[in-house]
Each structure stands twice: as C-alpha cells, then as structure tokens.
Amino acid sequence: MSLIVFGNFNQLPLVGDRYIFQPNSNNVYADFCGNPLWELFHIYYLTEIMRQKDDQKFSMALNNLAKGVLNETEIKLFKDREVDASAIPCKAIRLFRSIAKVYAFNDKIIQLDNKKITAEAIDKVKCQPNDNVKNRLLKAARDATARECQGFPYNLNSSLNVKYMITV
C-alpha cells in the first residue's frame, strides 16, 4: 500500500502533546527503539512556497519566525500588522500561546454574559473495586486538572451566547 503523508516541520505540536513522529514519552524504552511507525517512510522536503509566493518578504519573515531568527526589518513587518485588542471583532477566533491564557480569556467572556452554564462531569468506575478504592478513584478524577484529563475539566463553564470551537 502506498501512503503519502504531508506535514509542516515548523508547525507547533498540539497543546499538551508531542509531535506525532517523536518517541512516546510514556514508554521508557521509546528512546531506545524510536518510533517504528515512521521507519518505512521516506522524507521529501517541499521547498517551493505557494501561499505567500507573491509576497517574498512576508514569506521569508514567516520562515524566520518559525526558526526564531527574525531581523529588525521582519520584526517591524509583523509589528505593523498588529491591531489593537479593542478592534478585534467579538466573534473572531483567537489563538493563544498557552492553555492558561485560553482559560483566562474564556472565563472573562463567560463573566460578561448572564446566561452561564456549568456542566459537571459524570465519572464512572467500570471495574468493581471496593467502595474505598472506588471513592479514591472518583476523587482523583474530580481533583485532576484538565491537562491531566486530556483537556476535559471536571466543571466546564460556558455561556449560551458564545460560539465555541472544540477539538478532540
């Protein structure tokens, strides 16, 4: 079977996760074995820029931004494209550099609305442990951070008047 996979080596990994081609950090032997999933693949680097091909300066600035080597002219190019936070439409999708900033922004927006909803997780223990073990497991799930639960908080605060983008 032939399989073609595309990707951008300058793209950031998922929040709280690793690049798909990196060894599994949960497996102590991963550093010894690597990731066998990718051993049969051949890499071909695509070097022609398509999206920004008509704006060479911006294209180079984006590449240098990804590498962390911007010069003063490129920094000015990005600064000139900044807009004041008050000029951003309320319904615009926002990208943040940390999950903490996402939560802070979401909390701020929810506080502005009078139609708030809190959805509480319903955790279940599938095996049949004794009550003591079951209660400890449920408490651990309740006390865990959203990051420890693959992004799912125990209490999810939201608003009826806000559109959400949910990724799984």
**Range 31-45 average pLDDT:** 75
Residue 146 pLDDT more than 70? yes
Confidence of residue 31 (pLDDT cuts 50, 70, 90): low
Element (H, E) at 126: none
Query: Under 8 Å CB-to-CB from 118, ≥6 apart: which residues?
Result: 155, 156, 157, 158
The pLDDT of residue 83 is above 80: yes
The Cα–Cα gap between 32 and 154 comes to: 37
148 band by pLDDT with thresholds 50, 70 and 90:
confident
Bridge partners for 116 per DSSP: 159
User: What dihedral do alpha carbons 133, 139, 141, 145 form, nearest 10°?
Assistant: -140
- pLDDT tens by residue, 41-63: 888 888 888 888 889 899 899 88
SS3 7: coil
Alpha-carbon distances, residue 165 vs 25, 98, 122 (angstroms): 28, 16, 22
Average pLDDT, the chain: 83
Give backbone dihedrals phi and psi of 153, rounded to 5 degrees, phi first. Answer: -75, 160
Residue with tokens 């955790």: 123
In angstroms, what CA-CA distances link 122 with 97, 129, 141, 154?
Answer: 30, 18, 10, 8
Q: Which tens digits make up the pLDDT trace of 126-136? A: 888 888 988 99
Given a contact cutoff of 8 angstroms between Cβ atoms, the answer to whether 118 and 99 are in contact is no
Question: What is the domain partition of the chain in residue ranges?
Answer: 1-82, 99-159
d(CA 96, CA 100): 9
- Report d(CA 77, CA 126) in Å as an integer: 56
pLDDT at 161: 80
